[in-house]
Amino acid sequence: MLHLLPLSTILLLLRTIVANPISTPQSQPLPLLIWHGLGDNYAAEGLHTVGDLANATNPGTFVYYIRLDESPDSDKTATFFGNLTEQVAQVCDDLANHPILSTAPGVNALGFSQGGQFLRGFVERCNFPPVKNLITFGSQHNGIARYQICGATDWLCKAYIGLLKANTWGAWVQSHLVPAQYFRSTNDTTGEPTEEYLESSNFLADINNERKLKNTTYAKNLASLDKFVMYLFDEDTTVIPKESGWFAHVNGSSGEVTDLKDRDIYKEDWIGLKKLDEKGGLEFKTTEGGHMQLDDEMLMDVFKTYFSPEKASWAGPTDKVQEQVEL
């Protein structure tokens, strides 16, 4: 194309580039948020391996590991115990006040298992800094229909599941036990969610806008993403049903799957998924293996495809500070 420009324009362009070498846009990748799953903690080695891989794929990526407590043990405890309304609000607060994240024009986000629907909750409720690309792995976007099965001698797990099962819809359980807040019960005959769920679910029924009164901010925020990519593990036996990772509904009696696009949440666009889909922003992906069986090559491919600085970038925190000083 350049040879079609008049010589004077080319000279002007050259002069501009030479005179302002610093003003050429630096393409630092957007910061990356990672929200871990149940029983994990933000300082875990495995999680940091993933962050390092993101930085190795797109050098210069600032990675923030979402936490509910600076103590890794307490952060892990918060994956089991807590009120998700308060947990998401705390994360909203932390991110909005973070010295680097709050200056970025946008961030990318990676959610593992329950961390995926919690990040979606962050996008719907707060979305500052705004998320550009949200990737979830093995998440429970349409909730769980059954609690996880414990090992034969895992008494702690059994006690915990016992508590969950005893009174899932009670106020104490809904405000203290995390998985109960994304448990979803349906009537197999009608396929409709139960009254108890609609009335008492402290998290999922709200962020999925399943109640009569819809929050339009949720839909607006989710539709503002560039991409929302949902990965399903093809041999996932931990998440019941695994198709929840794609927002699908599964008939508990027949096992029949109703895809997102055949459900009211999409057709009536309760949370902006249809709008996002219509602009090409919604992707359904499968990866091999059981729950959270990630391999480096697949992850690098994901990071290259969705988080590369060619898609969206910023000048980085230091330049931002410099800019402010110059002003």
Rounded least distance, CB 124 to ligand NAG, Å: 7
CB of 175 to ligand NAG, least distance (A): 3
User: Is 20 one of the binding residues for ligand NAG (CB under 6 A)?
Assistant: no
Distance, CA of 53 to CA of 257 (rounded, Å): 35
Q: How far is the CB of 162 from ligand NAG (least distance, A)?
A: 20
Task: Give yes or no for residue 170 binding ligand NAG (CB under 6 A).
Answer: no
96 touching ligand NAG, by CB under 6 A: no
The interface region with ligand NAG, picked from 29-37, 153-161, 234-242, 249-257 by CB under 6 A, is 249-257
Tokens coding 194: 């139960």
Residues 6+ apart with CB under 8 A from 224: 127, 130, 272
What residues contact 298, with CB distance under 8 A and at least 6 apart?
287
Nearer to ligand NAG (CB atom), residue 117 or residue 287: 117
* Contact mark string toward ligand NAG, 254..283, x via CB under 6 A: x-----------------------------
Contact 130, 237 (CB under 8 A): no
Specify the residue, 158 or 220, whose C-beta has the smaller distance to ligand NAG.
Answer: 220
CA distance 226 to 228: 7
DSSP 128-177: SSPEEEEEEES--TT-BSSPPPPPTT-HHHHHHHHHHHHTTTSHHHHHHB
CA distance 234 to 202: 29
Instruction: With beta carbons less than 8 A apart as the criterion, state whether 287 and 233 touch.
Output: yes
Residue 171 interacting with ligand NAG (CB under 6 A): yes
User: In what helix (H) or strand (E) does residue 93 lie, and over which residues does it extend?
Assistant: helix 84-96
Given 251, 293, 305, 308, the residue binding ligand NAG (CB under 6 A): 251
Select from 46, 60, 105, 162 the one that contacts ligand NAG (CB under 6 A).
60
Active site residue 308: no
Catalytic annotation, residues? 113, 236, 291
Binding site for ligand NAG (CB under 6 A): 52, 55, 59-60, 83, 85-86, 125, 171, 174-175, 187-191, 202, 215, 217, 251, 253-254
